[in-house]
Amino acid sequence: MGTLLFETRRARPADAADVAEIHDSAWRAAYRGLIPGVELEKMIERRGPGWWETALRRGSRVLVLTHADRIAGYANLGRNRARGLPYEGEIYELYLRPEYQGLGFGRRLFADSRKELANSGFEGVTVWALAANEPALGFYRALGGANIARSSETFGGRTLEKLAFGWTA
């Protein structure tokens, strides 16, 4: 009999298929209409179970949030890649299965990701989100994130603005 409790733990290579499935469904829900369709499909296709298994075997820091013995979401995190920002940690990705969104699971996964970074000695955390992704912007603002930087990224010939949010330790 499974438990109805939820927990956050480090992802294992055996979790690769679940993480890839979450990546696929969450990206389609979040980015359809924002990232050009062909480019979005290529990006999703590249990050299948094999890609995630290799990343996990090589030590990528990925947390999974489980609920009732099912992986509900994942976060990929580590050292901040934007060296000009005064935050040492970064949450590269935080995604939930669409049916788990809006229920508090994202807040839990975010909080546990911040703890993981702090426990690893990283002071402060940053997250990037596409400026046109209103649900993500609202989520990070509700968590108290301060807008700290702007940048852009090109997807299949379309340049999209992205915003960085920051939290101190």
In a domain, 105, yes or no: yes
In a domain, 138, yes or no: yes
> What DSSP designation does 145 have?
P
Q: What is the mean pLDDT of residues 42-68?
A: 96
In a domain, 40, yes or no: yes
pLDDT above 70: percentage of residues in the chain: 97
Note the pLDDT tens digit of each residue in 79-115.
999 989 999 999 999 999 999 999 999 999 999 999 9
Q: What is the mean pLDDT of residues 53-66?
A: 97
Task: Return the residue matching tokens 């090109």.
Answer: 154
In a domain, 1, yes or no: no
Confidence check: pLDDT of 169 > 80? no
Q: How far apart are CA 54 and CA 52, in angstroms?
A: 5
**Cβ(92)–Cβ(162) under 8 Å?**
no
Return the structure tokens found at 24. 């696929």
CATH number at residue 17: 3.40.630.30
Provide the number of structural domains found in the chain: 1
**Domain region containing 60:** 6-167
In a domain, 103, yes or no: yes
In a domain, 63, yes or no: yes
Q: How far apart are CA 121 and CA 79, in angstroms?
A: 10
pLDDT of residue 1: 44
